[in-house]
Amino acid sequence: MVQRNTWQRERVRSALAGAPGFVSAQDLHAELRGENTGIGLATVYRALANLAATGEADQLQSPDGEAIYRACASTGHHHHLICRVCGKAVEIQATEVETWAQATAAAHGFTQAEHVVDIFGTCADCTAATSARADA
């Protein structure tokens, strides 16, 4: 049983690593279903939550409130630029944000401040594809 769960978690992990950007549990489940792995949606949810808890994946909330995941190259604190059309993500450092967040928290007497800052937009490729469609 433990062995089987480990296998499924590994399969979800490698599917996530192969994804081009942020994906939802449904996205990954649809991909795994195409390979006839027999991994259920509930298992995908559990595996993703587990990967996020152990720091092997980044979890964030899409603008429509869905939990989305990515196996990020950086393990340290970082931010993301995410395309809301294709899910492509760029990992970014935001030094100004770090300084501002610490200073703002300190000004209000807060310590141990944390923050979550991610930028959602339309990537260059999707912007080009959209304007190409509009021209046609």
List contacts with Zn ion (CB under 5 A). Answer: 58, 72, 83, 85-86, 88, 98, 123, 126
Q: Which residues are annotated as a binding site for Fe cation?
A: 77, 98, 115
- Of 89, 67, 88, the closest CA to residue 80 belongs to 89
Residue 119, classed as helix, strand or coil, is strand
Nearer to Zn ion, 23 or 39 (CB): 23
- Least distance in Å: CB of 91 to Zn ion? 5
**Phi and psi (nearest 5°) for 94?**
-135, 75
Nearer to Zn ion, 38 or 121 (CB): 121
Output 46 or 78, the one with its CB closest to Zn ion: 78
Closest residue by Cα to residue 62 from 13, 121, 106? 121
The C-alpha angle with vertex 41 and arms to 39 and 18, in degrees rounded to 5, equals 70
Q: Which residues are annotated as a binding site?
A: 77, 83, 86, 98, 115, 123, 126
Least distance to Zn ion from the beta carbon of 40, Å?
A: 27
